[in-house]
């Protein structure tokens, strides 16, 4: 091997080291947003039947309807907006991984109005919930937004809504 | 060094806690004094017998269920952390079990030989492993909120899974309706 070739190999290795991601943040982040309508009475969607006891603990309502579900693979430090319908949107800015937690800014908007603006650290693969509505005792119904974030390359990328 | 001096330093000698020059002095004296030598051997034998006995008891103890059981008690204790309800109910049972386990481990770690740094990490590791497991279980859906702004909002935690809920007290109908 000549000196030039050896130098070339070294340069290639150095470049590869720089390019190959070495942190968890180099892996894509999978976001799942599930929109659920909570009602005081009526049937519950079969897809949500298993979640019903937990949702009841969270929201206090008895019936739950799946309004939509969106799964998206998002890039770090890029703002992503999820349309929740009814003029609302969930805007995420994933910032990084800290202690196996996904650190992100989450804004829940209604039109241009910010209902919630928060910085959270969510356990990798964990789910948190945003609720919009009056107390279950008023019986007006509520909207639940289930937000799940996972820093894993195995997840599929798809988008569905109904 | 006299027999009286040795009698005063006996425990320190057997535990190897004396400074090296004193250890040597006691050993030199024991080499020429059959009485002190016998006392030292007796004490060493006694310690070995106790260590063997405790080791035998420790082997029969099944501690595998301790941490899962401790972890299982955490969610019920977390929402209401009043001292009245937590301390009197849980401390006698789990406090006694954990204190016994810790005592046995500590004793085994120090019995029959000078305390060496290699024993300490073992004990710490087992405690940390349990604590880490409990923390992981507890924080699966638990979000840490660093900053939160908004009008008429409340943060809740679902007691069973610890799921974090940010609730906006607001009419459901959006601006488009």
Q: Which residue has the higher pLDDT, A25 or B58?
A: B58
CA distances in angstroms from A116 to A24, A81, B18, listed in the order given: 28, 14, 65
Number of Cβ within 10 Å of residue A137's Cβ equals 8
Instruction: Using the predicted structure, report yes or no on whether residue B139 has a pLDDT greater than 50.
Output: yes
| Contact flag A134-B144 (C-beta cutoff 8 Å) | no
The domain spans of chain A are: 24-161
Helix (H) or strand (E) holding B11: helix B3-14
Q: Where is average pLDDT lowest: B9-23, B112-126, B127-141?
A: B112-126
pTM assigned to the model: 0.52
Most confident of A76-80, B50-54, B74-78: A76-80
Over the stretch A52-100, which tens digit does the pLDDT of each residue have? 888 888 888 889 999 999 999 999 999 999 999 989 999 999 999 988 8
- Rounded to a whole number, what is the distance in Å from the CA of A26 to chain B's nearest CA? 22
* Mean pLDDT to the nearest integer, A8-36: 63
* SS3 track for A27-68: CCEEEEEEEEEEECCCCCCHHHCCCHHHHHHHHCCCEEEEEE
Which of A5-19, A30-44, B7-21, B90-104 shows the lowest mean pLDDT across its residues? A5-19
| pLDDT surpassing 70 at residue A1 | no
Q: Do B165 and A128 touch (CB under 8 A)?
A: yes
User: Which pLDDT score, from 0 to 100, does residue B141 have?
Assistant: 77
Residue A135 reports pLDDT greater than 80: no
Question: How many Cβ atoms sit within 10 Å of the Cβ of residue A88?
Answer: 23
Which residue in A has a C-alpha nearest to residue B161's C-alpha? A54
Average pLDDT over every residue of A124-140: 83
Residues near B61 by beta carbon (within 8 Å), at least 6 away in sequence: B101, B104
B40, two tokens: 């030292």
What ranges make up the beta strands (E) of chain B?
A: 144-149, 153-157, 164-168
For residue B162, is pLDDT > 90? no
Q: Are A34 and A162 in contact (CB under 8 A)?
A: no
The Cα A51–Cα B74 span in angstroms is: 23
H or E stretch covering A3:
helix A3-19
């Amino acid at each position: 091997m000549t000196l030039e070739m050896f130098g070339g190999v070294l340069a290639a290795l150095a470049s590869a080291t720089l390019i190959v991601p070495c942190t968890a943040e180099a892996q894509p982040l999978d976001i799942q947003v599930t929109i659920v309508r909570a009602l005081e009475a009526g049937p519950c969607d079969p897809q949500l039947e298993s979640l019903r006891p937990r949702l009841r603990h969270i929201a206090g309502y008895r019936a739950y309807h799946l309004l939509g579900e969106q799964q998206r693979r998002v890039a770090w430090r890029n703002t992503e907006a999820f349309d929740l319908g009814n003029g609302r949107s969930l805007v995420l800015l994933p910032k990084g991984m800290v202690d196996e937690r996904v650190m992100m800014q989450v804004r829940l908007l209604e039109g241009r109005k910010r209902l919630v603006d928060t910085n959270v650290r969510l356990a990798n693969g964990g789910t948190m919930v945003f609720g919009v509505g009056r107390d279950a005792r008023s019986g007006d119904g509520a909207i639940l937004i289930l937000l799940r974030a996972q820093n894993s390359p195995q997840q599929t990328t798809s988008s569905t809504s109904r | 060094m006299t027999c009286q001096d040795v009698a005063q330093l006996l425990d320190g000698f057997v535990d190897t806690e004396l400074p090296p020059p004193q250890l040597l002095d006691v050993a030199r004296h024991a080499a020429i004094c059959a009485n002190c030598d016998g006392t030292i051997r007796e004490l060493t034998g006694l310690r070995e017998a106790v260590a063997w006995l405790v080791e035998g008891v420790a082997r029969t103890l099944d501690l595998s269920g301790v941490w899962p059981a401790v972890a299982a008690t955490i969610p019920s204790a977390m929402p209401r952390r009043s001292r009245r309800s937590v301390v009197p109910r849980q401390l006698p049972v789990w406090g006694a079990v954990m204190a016994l386990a810790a005592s046995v481990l500590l004793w085994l770690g120090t019995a029959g030989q000078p305390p060496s740094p290699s024993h300490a990490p073992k004990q710490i590791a087992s405690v940390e492993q349990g604590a880490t497991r409990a923390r992981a279980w507890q924080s699966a859906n638990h979000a840490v909120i660093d900053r939160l702004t908004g009008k008429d909002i409340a943060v809740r935690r679902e007691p069973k899974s610890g799921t974090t809920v940010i609730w906006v007290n607001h009419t459901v109908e959006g601006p488009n309706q």
